[in-house]
Amino acid sequence: MSRDIVVAIDGYSGTGKSTTAKKVASELDYIYVDTGAMYRAVTLAFIRAGVESFLSGKIKTLLDEVDISFIKNSSTGLQETYLNGENVEEQIRGIEVSGRVSEVSAISEVRRKLVEQQRSMGANGGIVMDGRDIGTVVFPKADLKVFMTANDEVRAERRWLELKEKGKHISKEEVLENLRSRDEIDTSRVDSPLRQADDAILIDTSNISIKQQVKDILILAKRKLGKDI
């Protein structure tokens, strides 16, 4: 296969999928799209606008005003999320947004708008996209599909350490409760629930490093590309 491929990485929060996806994209010299950040940005917009009841009329109006973009930070080399021209990378990773993002992600109007944007981004291949419905809904014919899972206690520990490093004061118990709540919403929603695609390769990250995760996915991707490993 000579053309660039689409790599779809789905899975639960705290499995390392975003960090892994970024590194895989960098190694392949592909575009990386953090779809979770897109849903988090919309959630932040909803919170700021006070759209608590998520009424249809308000949702459409708000979505029409939302512009999400990704810009690389020249100092760190990392991609950061912008909402209507404002850098919101730090705000969207906070516990307030984390506590509402699954609820907002379950709204059909929100999913339709963002899925349309995501498909447009990956229309020509050469992309690594991670989320919860990339291999099942956004790119059901993706060349490579990976589904990542891990023990919920391990995931909570990782998330807690990440928040701690950012100066966020929250207990491990609260983080675990948040993760389990998100899992329940993500897997039970009617529209595009989180599930492993039939042709996705399962990777349990409970006991493997990010470095190993990246290596495993690169091997799979290079096989699809017909390149030497």
Q: What's the pLDDT score for residue 53?
A: 54
Q: What's the pLDDT score for residue 168?
A: 82
Rounded Cα distance between 102 and 36, Å, is 10
Which pTM does this prediction carry? 0.82
User: Does residue 211 fall inside a structural domain?
Assistant: yes
Among 12-21, 51-60, 140-149, 151-160, the range scoring the smallest mean pLDDT is 51-60
The β-bridge partners of 3 are none
User: Does residue 183 fall inside a structural domain?
Assistant: yes
User: Does residue 159 fall inside a structural domain?
Assistant: yes
User: Does residue 40 fall inside a structural domain?
Assistant: yes
What's the whole-number average pLDDT of the chain? Answer: 91
Indicate the DSSP class of residue 87: E
What is the tens place of the pLDDT at every residue in 55-74? 566 888 889 999 998 888 88
Q: What's the pLDDT score for residue 56?
A: 60
Q: CA-CA distances (angstroms) from residue 16 to 40, 94, 150, 190, 217?
A: 17, 17, 9, 25, 13
Q: CA-CA distances (angstroms) from residue 202 to 21, 127, 157, 158, 173?
A: 15, 20, 21, 20, 27
What is the tens place of the pLDDT at every residue in 97-148? 988 998 898 888 999 999 999 999 899 899 999 999 999 999 999 999 999 9
Q: What's the pLDDT score for residue 52?
A: 63
Domain limits at 18? Answer: 6-225
Q: What is the CATH number of the domain that holds 49?
A: 3.40.50.300
Sign of the C-alpha dihedral, residues 177, 190, 150, 101? negative
Of the ranges 52-66, 71-85, 186-200, the best mean pLDDT one: 186-200
Residue 90 φ/ψ region, left for φ over 0, alpha for ψ in the -120 to 50 degree band, beta for the rest: alpha
In this predicted structure, the answer to whether residue 1 has a pLDDT above a threshold of 50 is: no
What is the tens place of the pLDDT at every residue in 82-92? 999 999 999 99
In this predicted structure, the answer to whether residue 149 has a pLDDT above a threshold of 90 is: yes
142-167 average pLDDT score: 93
Q: CA-CA distances (angstroms) from residue 185 to 46, 106, 112, 161, 220?
A: 18, 8, 18, 24, 30
User: Does residue 166 fall inside a structural domain?
Assistant: yes
User: Does residue 1 fall inside a structural domain?
Assistant: no
User: Does residue 110 fall inside a structural domain?
Assistant: yes
200-221 average pLDDT score: 97
- Enclosing H/E stretch for 134: none
Domain count, the chain: 1
User: Does residue 193 fall inside a structural domain?
Assistant: yes
Confidence band of 25 (pLDDT split at 50, 70, 90): very high
